Amino acid sequence: MKISSIRNDFPVFEKNKNLTYLDSAATALKPKQVIDSVVQYYSEYPSNVFRGLYPLSQRATEAYEKAREKVAQFIHAHSPSEIIFTRGTTESINFIAYAWGRLNIHSNDEIVTTIMEHHSNFVPWQELVRENGAVLKVIDIDDSNKDSLFRIEKTVFSKITTNKTKLVAITHVSNVLGTINPIKEIIAGVKRINPHCLVLVDGAQAVPHMSVDVQDLGCDFYVFSGHKMMGPTGIGVLWIRKELLEIIPPFHFGGSMIEKVTLEESRYAPPPQKFEAGTPHISGAIGLGAAIDYMNTIGVTNIQKHEMALTEYTLKRLNDFGSITMYCPQIVRHRGGVLSFNLYDSENHLIHPHDVGDVLGLENICVRAGHHCAMPLATRLGIPASVRVSLHIYNDKKDIDRLIEGLEKVRKIFK
């Protein structure tokens, strides 16, 4: 697998010859195969879905539903009917909070989450317990030793879960630490203690980089975004276990999700249509399907192997650089390709991450600087912010070498 040939698939590199893009955790670059699929939809069959009997509309409907089938196969769902298209991970989680949470979680019930969650998997539950008097339990990271650094121990969930726990909401891969949580073992432990407790997994940083089997994991909800896996922005996925599809009410109401409307009542279409009111993001779904095709062509296993090797190289270069504090597991098998750190000057003063990001940006090196939509975690770590490097299949060692050169320049400027 030649990374140089893969980079040729991404038009952004043609327009930016000196680009070092290390911010894929925010959004991944788009290959021309994805871009072409979106352009083709708007150029050749830009019709609405499920409405027209004419060929253009039928072609659009077929392409839209084919994308749903691709998603189902990609995450090993039981059926395409379990796949609901949303605007992204954030909307998917809010969907569950509103459509299921407000009907099933009441005063004194418990929701369990972790300190490493993205705001989208923390704030909705915080708001829910504020409204209904439920209890939000937050599990801390384990930083007691180097081997367990920044991980969530699977046994903790078994200890904190009770017969009052209605939901466990946890990230598969941390968008700050890069930690891969032992999701399958965590879920098994939770279900042993409370078989009625449901589990939601935020897979936004997992699905783009590793093989995911929702049936094998044993979760009840799994959510992720298309734009982080080289698909279009504004398209996301909510997977709901088939046994729950009928008992969860719609989140939005309007066209397409209706089977029959009378003056007295409305009857909803079967899933997944009952959850997708109005005109959906048709081009986004088609582009997501093309992104899945692209990832399958390379091979998800190959993507993960490449990123693991590059992560190991990045860890070594950053550790050798010195005057850096890392906020991520050092053992590659415990982590994905997300690395957060802070840089210090010769007198051990913090060089603010925003300054680091600005200087690197002037060198056309793209990193993220901030709290990464995880302020509780930043507070837990005792830092105002951090610099985040995140990798994908189009990155190579040359990108990391340029990063180190950029950090050298930062250090000289803030000497």
Q: What is the mean pLDDT of residues 335-345?
A: 95
pLDDT tens, 209-227? Answer: 999 999 999 999 999 999 9
Q: Say yes or no to pLDDT of 146 above 70.
A: no
Q: Annotated catalytic, 373? A: yes
Question: Which of 64-68, 166-170, 321-325, 340-344 is predicted least confidently?
Answer: 321-325
Q: Are 113 and 168 in contact (CB under 8 A)?
A: yes
pLDDT band of residue 326 (cuts 50, 70, 90) is: very high
Which amino acid, residue 390? S
The pLDDT of residue 147? 52
Domains 3-22+299-410 and 34-296 share a fold: no
Q: Are 394 and 51 in contact (CB under 8 A)?
A: no
Closest CA to 184 of 76, 74, 100: 76
What is the Cα–Cα distance from 55 to 53, expressed in whole angstroms? 7
Architecture of domain 34-296: 3-Layer(aba) Sandwich (3.40)
Per-residue tokens: 14: 């043609």
pLDDT tens, 66-114? Answer: 999 999 999 999 999 999 999 999 999 999 999 999 999 999 999 999 9
b/e 344-356 (16+ beta carbons within 10 angstroms → b) = eeeeeebbbbebb
Domain borders along the chain are 3-22+299-410, 34-296
Q: Which residue among the candidates 197, 328, 366, 373 is catalytic per the annotation?
A: 373
Q: What is the mean pLDDT of residues 287-294?
A: 98
Considering the chain, what is the average pLDDT of its residues? 94
Q: Say yes or no to pLDDT of 142 above 80.
A: no
Architecture of domain 3-22+299-410: Alpha-Beta Complex (3.90)
